[in-house]
A and B are shown apart, each in its own frame.
Chain A
């Protein structure tokens, strides 16, 4: 087993599928103790079981957490504190996609998307940075999106929520640097997740045509960049937004 994240405590939100799940596998393979966050214990345990089949020695544990609910986030971090007494890496991955043309966007949609994608990132970063401050080191990795910088029709709410993540990343990087906590974001392009598969077929084809590498990205390819940002290989990297998009143009 690799020692890249040996003995590191890593918390991943939205870890039961997609980029979060792939990251849990990649981080576990790198030697970390991975805490898989999600809203439903049964789903988290299923994910853990599947990873354990491939990595029998992996250190994995479930953390119930609805990132849009500040009380739930607090409870999750209290559990991390009481059990592990430290946190080395946060991968704030939980996200939702709920697109609509601006004229048909409901308040409920806005609250849901910003609640998870933006408020959730702030809540988790707040508690994670406090735990990291105790040990004087840490890496916070946030998930933004290519839509945040480039925009897209029908994605004003999603794009806005992910653009906020960029502002959060750059601000926190400055604020937390003196505590030796690095903060970076990944801006994935079109990645092969349930979220990407949920879009209409014609839009799916259109997206593929816009990617210079000519294919959809795999969650593991995003997870590998997250691993870089989590590890000491990126010890002098903070406040950066790293695109993982295969040269996608929107």
Chain B
């Protein structure tokens, strides 16, 4: 499974949304399922999936799927 597929799977499961909704421009707080509570669950799921520990600033900055990819790239998780 590619990193892209893993990311989509984590978003879909953590936010309990269809995987078709996990696109780059999906924004934090733009859907009821991605609220602050779900955001922390999403962070925990991403950290577990990619075996990383994110900085607090990155958690706060993770405002979209695209942004999540950029942040994960800092932790050597590539999406190219």
Q: How far is the CA of A130 from the CA of B41 in the complex (A)?
A: 9
Name which of B4-12, B27-35, B48-56, B63-71 contacts chain A: B48-56
In the complex formed, the residue of A with least CB distance to B51 is A85
| Contacting pair B53 A133 (CB below 8 A) | no
Question: In angstroms, how far is the closest chain A Cβ from the Cβ of B35?
Answer: 13
Determine which of A78, A81, A126, A133 lies in contact with B56 in the assembled complex, contact meaning CB atoms within 8 Å: A126
* A130: chain B residues within 8 A (beta carbon): 40, 43-44, 47, 53
Determine which of A74, A133, A179 lies in contact with B55 in the assembled complex, contact meaning CB atoms within 8 Å: A74
In the complex formed, the residue of A with least CB distance to B52 is A81
Q: Which of A131-186 contact B (CB under 8 A)?
A: 131, 133-134, 178-179
* B56: chain A residues within 8 A (beta carbon): 74, 126
Question: In angstroms, how far is the closest chain B Cβ from the Cβ of A127?
Answer: 8
Query: Taking beta carbons and an 8 Å cutoff, which residues of A are in contact with B?
Result: 74, 77-78, 81-82, 126, 130-131, 133-134, 178-179
Query: Taking beta carbons and an 8 Å cutoff, which residues of B are in contact with A?
Result: 37, 40-41, 43-44, 47-48, 53, 55-56
17 extra interchain contacts, Cβ-Cβ under 8 A, other than A77-B53, A130-B43, A133-B40?
Answer: A74-B55, A74-B56, A78-B53, A81-B53, A82-B53, A126-B56, A130-B40, A130-B44, A130-B47, A130-B53, A131-B53, A133-B41, A133-B44, A134-B44, A134-B47, A134-B48, A178-B37
